[in-house]
Chain A
């Protein structure tokens, strides 16, 4: 297979953000009696070894069910959750050093714009707050605070910006509020945005416009965007790459087209199976709920729910014992497309071998 054009490029430009083997745990609550008996609280391994990279101008979607650790990963990247292990490097430096400067460059957009805005502050004050916190009185070219706020609002699609300065959040619609939240992030000229379910609280017809705005911002300003979402359809409409998380780990990551149309991991396939569409209910649906991060199964963490194990496909391929007993990390099974699956590791290799041997027949 010829090397892809991307490969050398990746080595030259260092990633903007690099997460290496990130682990975040939460202590479970423990009763007084059990505490006196010397029992320790169970650790909930919310993020259990996540590694990812984000390049400038790239949109990466972090997808998965609730409880998979995607929001905790995003919060750790923002410096809002202390990592237990692992490193988060931004522009090659650890974020724990110079957190304040880092937070200026990396901004977060939350799910609920109504909760994110102070109801007693005007739109102007909400957007200018970031500037004041970071004690920025002028832009790089001598712009006044008012000019910076106006530019941010206008970039977020609130035009003419002056019209909204003195409005309060309750006077705006949900879509407009989310634009104000985005303006509040943009006013600091960040190089990266972390958006946690940026449209799931918005009406269906309004979502598209906000997503289009995020893409626009990326194109105009060259921002990198990490979008946390449960919605694979959303990933299809905006992401360059998609990472699928299950129980604290990324189980598949790669170019959006590959991951969403030629998934390798059975969990990604299961998630795609439940994206609603006509007749979709006849397709197999995983049973049960996502397991408990305090009790992560041994071996491949997905094996207790894995349809490939249940139907015997894993046994037929001779990997079932490894599924049950051997924990595994991501493997590059196609160029730039990684998955953590014993079965895929075998079958994808075979598939390639078969396709090359076929012409000989």
Chain B
């Protein structure tokens, strides 16, 4: 059984201009100890998924489908149970560590608070545990008495990671955990996350716009566009042999230094990601797709098999042929 199993997830934000479909039918499976990378551009719905998993979205947001965590339905949980699950079964590391910490409380106390609230240990034991956690994330235990402003950006993110580990969760959701950090510090934090994940056998949902970061830490990759997953599969296959033209373009946006085809040749896509309120018909990617053909504006492709455990929502995938044929035959002729 999967640790996390999301099926047919839809999320509509309620706005003055009517409902905005941010997530439009997403399936996600994460097994114990597995790392899934979720990539996409701003507005594609990736952070909305992170929020939906722990029910952190604004009240009034419409969430349908099913989210099973260890077989338990998250969407149907009573508030008390939900509070217990947060942090102990699934924790989350946010992008802006600088804003997620309380500026007037010592960082050690903030981590301790999480442990005490969840009755994971008594006060003395919790204190010892915090020291251990800081050491685990590569901070000297004396930092326990520091306030957030005394720490650098990378150190604050390490505190956030320690906090996420505090109640021994089996799944960590990392939403752009390194985006605000400098390149060198980003590499340090990524390495730490990967090592912790390996050592503790954690499952992770790693969300970022930076596909090149995911390839370093993930077993599997899912690429989102306009509220849907458009390609999903083993990380290496998806990145290096992308079946979906959008994945290809996204991967090329992070050029390999030294590779001739990128030299003096920045590659990108024309146009911009669509607004969720105003999605193009057929395949939502077709207006920007370099390979679009006559069927693309008319057929909304589901995920077709590309290889073992690898699927892409593109009509150019071989296994999409029957769908194309079927679309051509019945209404052939004007």
Contact = CB atoms under 8 A, between A and B. Distances in A.
Interface of A: 65-66, 173-176, 203-212, 215, 230-234, 236-238, 256-257, 260-261, 270-281, 285-287, 289-290
Contacts of A233: 254-257, 262
Nearest to A210: B268
Interface string B252-292: 11111110001111111110110000000000000010000
A285 B211 CA distance: 20
A286 B184 CA distance: 7
A281 B191 contact: yes
A interface majority secondary structure: helix
Contacts of A173: 272
A66 B249 CA distance: 28
A230 B194 CA distance: 24
Nearest to A256: B263
A174 B209 CA distance: 15
A215 B190 contact: no
A207 B262 contact: no
B216 A260 contact: no
Nearest to B178: A276
B9 to A, nearest CB: 23
Interface residues of B, number: 47
A203 B272 contact: yes
A174 B268 CA distance: 14
Contacts, number: 133
21 contacts: A204-B210, A204-B254, A205-B268, A207-B253, A207-B268, A208-B266, A209-B269, A209-B270, A231-B183, A233-B255, A236-B257, A237-B263, A274-B187, A276-B187, A276-B213, A277-B212, A278-B216, A281-B187, A285-B184, A285-B191, A290-B182
B198 to A, nearest CB: 11
B268 A209 contact: yes
Contacts of B190: 276, 281
Contact of A203 (B194, B209, B262, B266): B209
A210 B271 CA distance: 11
Closest 3 CB pairs of A and B: A208-B268, A211-B266, A274-B187
B186 A274 contact: yes
B262 A236 contact: yes
B185 to A, nearest CB: 6
A286 B186 CA distance: 11
A236 B258 contact: yes
Contacts of A232: 257
Contact of B258 (A65, A234, A260): A260
A205 B41 CA distance: 8
A211 B268 contact: yes
Contacts of B185: 289
Given A203-B209, A238-B264, A271-B184, A260 B269 contact: no
Nearest to B186: A274
B20 interface: no
A256 B259 CA distance: 12
B149 to A, nearest CB: 14
B268 A212 contact: yes
B270 A65 contact: no
Interface in B34-60: 41-42
B217 interface: yes
A351 to B, nearest CB: 20
Given A203-B42, A204-B253, A230 B183 contact: yes
Contact of B263 (A206, A230, A257, A279): A257
